Structure 1
């Protein structure tokens, strides 16, 4: 069997299992907030910059457009945000936090610290290095995607 086809040699499988591990680690923390991880990412983007267009939100979060539609619908149903038409261009929709959505931020403040506690065996420097390497890897895929167009 080719060494390239061995599962233990696959970088993508490590990302797959790590993604699942992150999801499991976040689940109880976010359950207490009554949100899913994709909803959390969307809210974090809105806590940074509120009253943005859906296009800006898609760009900031890198969430698929179809998935984002469902996320926004769920968050709107929960009363955390509202979606309105832009005043200058009715084709553009804007997303704005409600009072409840803004209040959710205070409840989520300790989630990052609780997740850091789960990275007990990793130093701050290792964490930064990993983040930088992941950003670099993402850039490689973006470059390859642009070149294939």
Structure 2
């Protein structure tokens, strides 16, 4: 059995709260104290696990009464997740982020398993086989945008 990383544990804790309510306000220092880690670990989790590509908005207010607010995007209809996701595809898309985005489409019942598997195969490092990592990420981002556009307009 593989041990969970501290980031996985913090993410699971925050996701458990977000499963009950659409948004949560936290204090970075309180969460760090709760999990006996440095506050920068909380920043890392927020920047890598609670991104727009994954359906989250993170807002922060600095200062003594400061907070970090995590909001789970509430999608109104089938077009909304595609439009939102399309708007947040970066110019360079890592394979792991493409997997997460494809899984979100599947989980939201926008695509079937077969479609998701085809998308993942087309965007995989093995398929693209480009020696230059940056060029591969640019092409993967273009592919993801093309897939999302195709899903938005072909129904």
Q: When the two structures are superposed, what TM-score results if normalisation uses the length of structure 1?
A: 0.26
More helix by share: 1
- Larger Rg belongs to: 1
